[in-house]
Structure 1
């Protein structure tokens, strides 16, 4: 049985990446030590078998793996995925958005739920992709978690997400494909160059920016670039040592008023 030939996107990808950087053929050829004629032939697909050194040079210059340059049609990717690639997060295998995430497993080969204590927060930024660092974190087995997915526990600080109490432990699920996140989803965000985690309502925009909002209106929302984000973990549950406050009488009265207004409105429309 004849296998279907694998489509190769190398030529089109090189031209796309060059134009994305607003470089002329002469400029890129000079950077790579090629003649402009050879680069033009590669971009036109007239060079059927570029030398291995050529693949390596293009891969090193654009910081994108040879596998991706060959197999993935980069011009079809969204802006967020392209920015992730350009930031060094080349994880597009067979077109899937997979990130390199270090995990640890128990004796039965089941994923552990690691806890990132406060004293390990700064180290997590540098060691989140280091299997030895992840293996050194405290591990827990939590009931009723979905069978699929990777979960981790992060301590929260500050009051930006009230009514979630300060010093709660946030159980969150790893998000590989950020474009799958619905608007205003609570997430733990791991940002480059910061010593703490961010727990915010998260909206990923198509232009490569991510809007972060607090539930506490005393904190203004702000936007970060996708390139500045290392990991996103979607909120699943939280645990707290604080006992919830009883509902105030005023809150009860306001709820009753809203319910009455809704009933009156429904009758007016009927």
Structure 2
């Protein structure tokens, strides 16, 4: 039957297309209308370079734009609007590399202990999802989840998805499609008025826990494939 489809002697039904798409982890739209052989997978191909809206000080040095928790919802709609971005708090930090653009996000919830709610995480802009390094922590601006701060594992080459893991073992990992990510910021520093308590370390995952999580995620990928 597949040979008949390839030769043009028969056309698959919609249900068959869905089955083929599920097996190959592609959407029906990508399967029918996108030249995968020539252009590569949509989720994996290099996206257009994103033009960031940044704020400059009087000496034309980039400010670090601060996105408070209460402004998170507005940021999803206004991050490309210069007027909106200018209204957000701006500041500088010493000892950060000069060859990157930074943004600060206020953390909510306790999924990334020992960082407590209200901690400000400063991230360096990452241009492409393919540049995500598995096991590192990132702030992701996403279409479905909003703004999230997680430890990210990059499985774009395998199934076009990213796995998001919390450092607090009370929260289960989950996955999101790579194409849902609007912005990526690799965590470089944090600001907190709460000093970490050594007793809190047992609330965060250890390297052994992470290794076990990775093994479970790989098993899940192979099982679903």
Q: TM-score normalized by structure 1?
A: 0.57
**How far is 1:176 from its partner?**
0.4
Q: How does 1:1-270 map to 2 (within 5 A)?
A: 20-22=30-32, 75=38, 77=40, 79-82=42-45, 91=48, 98-194=49-145, 196-205=146-155, 206=157, 207-246=159-198
- Would you identify which runs of 4 or more consecutive aligned residues in structure 1 move more than 6 Å? none
Q: In structure 2, what is the Cα distance between the partners aligned to 1:165 and 1:156?
A: 8
Secondary structure at the counterpart of residue 173 of structure 1:
strand
Secondary structure at the counterpart of residue 223 of structure 1:
strand
Rg larger for: 1
Q: In structure 1, what is the Cα distance between the partners aligned to 2:60 and 2:41?
A: 35
**How far is 1:222 from its partner?**
0.5
Matched-pair contact (CA < 8 Å) for 2:141–2:148: yes
Runs of 5+ unmatched residues, structure 1: 1-18, 24-61, 63-72, 86-90, 92-97, 252-270
Q: In structure 1, what is the Cα distance between the partners aligned to 2:175 and 2:105?
A: 22
Secondary structure at the counterpart of residue 122 of structure 2:
strand
Note the alpha carbon deviations across 1:241-267, whole angstroms, 9 max, x for none. Answer: 11222459xx8xxxxxxxxxxxxxxxx
> Structure 1 pair 74/173, CA: closer, same or farther in 2 (3 Å)?
farther
Secondary structure at the counterpart of residue 183 of structure 1:
coil
Q: In structure 2, what is the Cα distance between the partners aligned to 1:184 and 1:246?
A: 22
Q: In structure 1, what is the Cα distance between the partners aligned to 2:61 and 2:177?
A: 34
**How far is 1:20 from its partner?**
4.8
Q: In structure 2, what is the Cα distance between the partners aligned to 1:246 and 1:215?
A: 15
The residue number in structure 2 matching 1:256 is none
Matched-pair contact (CA < 8 Å) for 2:57–2:63: yes
Instruction: Give RMSD over aligned pairs.
Output: 2.5
**How far is 1:21 from its partner?**
4.2
> Structure 1 pair 219/247, CA: closer, same or farther in 2 (3 Å)?
closer
**How far is 1:157 from its partner?**
0.8
**How far is 1:130 from its partner?**
1.3
Q: TM-score normalized by structure 2?
A: 0.68
**How far is 1:213 from its partner?**
0.5
Secondary structure at the counterpart of residue 43 of structure 2:
helix
**How far is 1:170 from its partner?**
0.5
Q: In structure 1, what is the Cα distance between the partners aligned to 2:81 and 2:187?
A: 23
